A and B are shown apart, each in its own frame.
Chain A
């Protein structure tokens, strides 16, 4: 009994902080989403579920949702595809494992604004790294590609985003791989297993828990994606780069224009929360496997 009371006592401060700083604001977000509210003063008009009906009929909301899902799935495919590829290569016994791990992780310690600025220079049509390199090696027609034109800017941003995030998930996956007993791989080597077979039959099953948690982290990051596309758009974010997070900000905080529809913006926030929750539940069900102990 005393032990239970002690547990409650120790948990109380954290629970109060968590409840006060996260649960209550989350609940109040849903409450505010039922109002027309500019955020100035206390003048709020109850509109019921109208903000959600309006979202359903809002072209820009659907565009933002589409972009967010493209980041989640297309971006996720490349982030994890590359992270797995590099994990296999770096853990295959090549020289300089720590060096490569550091190089791939480096973008994560640099400010997002600086990274976005750097990519703007890389994509510059005339003097950017990509087009000057293509021109130097004789690919003149490709060197005329306008990477940040309205047709390409989303994919250009996504490519840069994949570059930023791959290193982070590479570190997570490599940490998982480092925990796999080396004798398992040695046994596979003795049996003549190829690199691919070792990856598929040893690494993936024994890395399942790390993979699941990595997917969850990516999913949360992708659905609330804001900083990088916002910084990539810089002075005025083109609509082609709108994510749900950016649209929420534009509608609630205006960026350059006095939009200030905080009630509507919180409705977007609620949709993001529900989307995150549903996708995580679905994904965890799909990825549920028997616990592997080693």
Chain B
């Protein structure tokens, strides 16, 4: 009896010790996510978490689905001492936010090391310049995993019906192609009047094609504002406004509130829209079976300093919070998410573009990917001003451009206001 009691006691003690050790080894990573829980991207993340947990029995990952304003939510949570290990946000936002505030851990050593699949340096996994573009003063604090290219996305059938069989590479040819499309009785270009950050892409690209990729940042950083009087600005404005004058953008677009215009693309009433490569996913439930998506690079301008192979992008990135107690596990999970098999799952199941350049994109966005493969320069949102001068980007640049683009102010007013508001911005800074 005494032996039985002793054995039972010993067994209980050993069990308690082993449970204690297990509990001590168990790591719980807290991940605050930019996805909304019902989104296809969130479903992929969930399945990746499940796979990672299965492969790493000592690690559990708790995901909190906050949506696109995740960074703001994380900021408030950090202020109240909430422990968070991993978070994600759009790349420029993160660069100007948590990374800029020194709240994220650097990735310099990891990027110089081997990639998760052992095929070469970790940094080589990504599209060229993407890592550099996301860095703050040369130090990378984020790992991009989703990638969207801003292209002219179009209904290939409508262009074919109009006799346009190859993507125009020059602005004049582009306008001529749109005229042919319009002649078939459909609208050429879709515009959402209220989404200034969509509409400004016309101006970004035209300015880049005319005056080169550095012009926009130079104009913003000119404290006198006088760079806005450069003839390239007026030319870019005139060229985009010409689309309205020619009736290539329907007049009623001035009253469209998102998603009214993109719905006309889905219904085959409008042929094209300049937007990120997320559009086919957004419209997946609205377009008819067999809808054929195309994506063309923004055309070049004759005699301009820019290049048709300069592509503006938007990306989503992960960051590891500097307060994490599980740095190694957090980094390991992020490396798992950007490995080719995981990224392929994003591409196949959520039909989203990914940052890992070895992964094939879904057919709906394959042409958008092609524009990135052929890109000689990848440009950040608003050519870097969104991350460097976000209040200028939102309150001055995008807002005033939208007013000019939609005809609320004249090109002359626009230029004068850009000069004075740029001066005001620097005086107040």
Q: How far is the CA of A276 from the CA of B79 in the complex (A)?
A: 29
Question: Given A57-B428, A123-B257, A258-B390, are A235 and B97 neighbors across the interface (CB < 8 Å)?
Answer: no
- List residues 246-271 of chain B with CB under 8 A from any CB of chain A: 251-252, 254-258, 260
Question: With a CB–CB cut-off of 8 A, which chain A residues contact B196?
Answer: 236, 238-239
A232 to B, closest residue via Cβ: B257
Interface presence of B408 (CB below 8 A): yes
Known: A60-B395, A146-B255, A239-B399. A256 touches B68 (CB 8 A): yes
Q: Which residue of B lies closest to A38 (CB)?
A: B101
Known: A148-B255, A258-B94. A153 touches B194 (CB 8 A): yes
Closest residue of chain A to B259, judged by CB?
A235
Residue of A nearest to B429 (CB): A54
Is B276 on the interface with A (CB-CB < 8 A)?
no
Are the CB atoms of A255 and B254 closer together than 8 Å?
Answer: no
Q: Is B427 an interface residue (CB 8 A)?
A: yes
Question: Is the C-beta of B102 less than 8 angstroms from some C-beta in chain A?
Answer: yes
Known contacts A39-B75, A151-B408: does B399 contact A146 (CB below 8 Å)?
no
Cα(A151)–Cα(B403), bound, Å: 9
Instruction: Classify the interface of chain A: helix, strand, loop or mixed.
Output: loop
Determine the residue in chain B with the shortest Cβ distance to A151. Answer: B408
Query: Inside 8 A of B79's CB, which chain A residues have their CB?
Result: 39
Residue A266 CB within 8 A of the other chain: no
Chain A, residue nearest B194 (CB)? A238
Query: With A and B bound together, what is the CA distance between A89 and B424 in angstroms?
Result: 52
Q: How far is B254's CA from A260's CA once the two chains are assembled, in angstroms?
A: 31
B390–A259 touching, CB < 8 Å: yes
Which one of A23-31, A214-222, A246-254 is at the interface?
A: A246-254
Contacts of B75 on A, CB cut-off 8 Å?
A: 39-40, 260
Partner of B252, one of A40, A125, A238: A125
Task: Say if the beta carbon of A136 comes within 8 Å of chain B.
Answer: no
Enumerate chain A residues within 8 angstroms of B95, measured Cβ to Cβ. 258
Of residues A43, A124, A126, A150, which shows the largest number of chain B Cβ atoms within 10 Å of its Cβ? A150
Q: Assuming A59-B421, A258-B71, is B97 touching A125 (CB within 8 A)?
A: no
Which residues in window 171-215 of A have CB below 8 A to B? none
The yes or no answer to A120 lying at the interface (CB within 8 A) is yes
Task: Confirm or deny: B195 has a beta carbon within 8 angstroms of a beta carbon on chain A.
Answer: yes
Contact between chains at B403 and A150 (CB < 8 Å) = yes
One digit per residue, 1 when the CB lies within 8 angstroms of any chain A CB and 0 when it does not, for chain B 191-210 equals 00111110000000000000
A41: interface (CB < 8 Å): yes
B105 at the interface (CB under 8 A from A): no
Q: B307 within 8 Å of A by Cβ?
A: no
Q: Does B140 contact A (CB under 8 A)?
A: no
**C-alpha gap A261/B395 in the complex (Å):** 13
Do B428 and A125 have beta carbons less than 8 Å apart?
Answer: no
A250 to B196, CA, bound (A): 15
> Are the C-beta atoms of B387 and A123 separated by less than 8 Å?
no
Chain B CB within 8 A of A234 CB? yes
**Chain A residues bordering chain B, tally (CB within 8 A):** 41
Question: Does B406 count as interface, using CB distance less than 8 angstroms?
Answer: yes
Contact for A236 among B197, B406, B428, CB less than 8 A: B197
A233 interfacial contact with B, CB 8 Å: yes
If A150-B406, A258-B94 touch, whether A125 touches B256 (CB-CB below 8 Å) is: yes
The residue on B at minimum CB distance from A120 is B257
Instruction: State whether the Cβ of B383 lies closer than 8 Å to any Cβ in chain A.
Output: no
Contacts of B384 in A (CB 8 A): none
The B interface is mostly helix, strand or loop, or mixed, namely helix
Bound: A146/B252 CA distance, A? 7
Q: How far is the CA of A153 from the CA of B193 in the complex (A)?
A: 10
Q: How far is the CB of B389 from chain A (nearest CB, A)?
A: 10
Distance in angstroms between the alpha carbons of A40 and B71 in the assembled complex: 11
Cβ of A124 and Cβ of B254 under 8 Å apart?
no
Residue-by-residue, is B377-401 near A (CB-CB < 8 Å gives 1, otherwise 0)?
0000000001100110111000100
CB-CB under 8 A for A250 and B394, given A58-B428, A146-B252, A235-B194: yes
A147 at interface (Cβ–Cβ under 8 A)? yes
A40 touches B78 (CB 8 A): yes
Question: Which residues of the other chain, B, contact A125 by a CB distance below 8 angstroms?
Answer: 252, 255-256, 260
CB <8 Å contact, A150 and B193: yes
- Interchain CB contact under 8 A, A256 and B197: yes
A257 at the binding interface (Cβ < 8 Å): yes
- A253, B72: Cβ atoms under 8 Å? yes
Distance between Cα atoms of A256 and B399 in the complex (Å): 14
CB-based contact A233/B68 at 8 Å: no
* B427 contact set on A, CB distance < 8 A: 57
Judge whether B194 and A233 touch: CB under 8 Å.
yes
B93 close to A234 (CB less than 8 A): no
Chain B's nearest CB lies how many Å from the CB of A246?
12
- Give every chain A residue within 8 A of B257 (Cβ-Cβ): 120, 123-124, 148, 234
Q: How far is the CA of A258 from the CA of B71 in the complex (A)?
A: 9
Q: Which of A57, A126, A236, A250 contacts B194 (CB 8 A)?
A: A236
Q: Once bound together, how far apart are the Cα atoms of A39 and B72, in whole Å?
A: 9
Residues on B with C-beta less than 8 A from A235 are 194-195, 258
Nearest B residue to A39 via CB reads B75
Instruction: Determine the chain B residues whose CB is within 8 A of the CB of A233 once the complex forms.
Output: 194
In the bound assembly, the distance between CA atoms of A255 and B390 in angstroms comes to 11
Selected contact of A40 from candidates B98, B194, B424, CB within 8 Å? B98
Residue B402, interface by CB 8 Å: yes
Name the CB-closest residue of A to B76.
A39
- Distance to closest chain A CB from B49 (angstroms): 26
Q: A148-B255, A148-B257 are in contact. Are A41 and B194 (CB under 8 A)?
A: no
Residues in chain A near residue B101, CB distance under 8 A: 38, 40-41, 43, 260
With a cutoff of 8 Å between Cβ atoms, the chain B residues found around residue A153 in the complex are 194
The one of B258, B395, B402 that contacts A150, using a Cβ cutoff of 8 Å: B402
A153 to B254: give the CA distance in the assembly, Å. Answer: 10
A-B contact pairs, 19 of them (CB 8 A): A41-B101, A43-B101, A57-B427, A59-B424, A60-B399, A120-B257, A124-B260, A149-B406, A238-B402, A239-B399, A250-B395, A254-B97, A254-B390, A256-B93, A257-B92, A257-B93, A257-B391, A258-B97, A260-B96
- What residues of chain A have their CB less than 8 Å away from a CB belonging to chain B? 38-41, 43, 54, 57-60, 120, 123-126, 144, 146-153, 233-236, 238-239, 250-251, 253-261
* Contacts A235-B258, A257-B394 known; 10 new A-B pairs at CB < 8 A: A40-B103, A57-B424, A124-B256, A125-B260, A126-B260, A150-B402, A258-B94, A258-B100, A258-B386, A259-B390
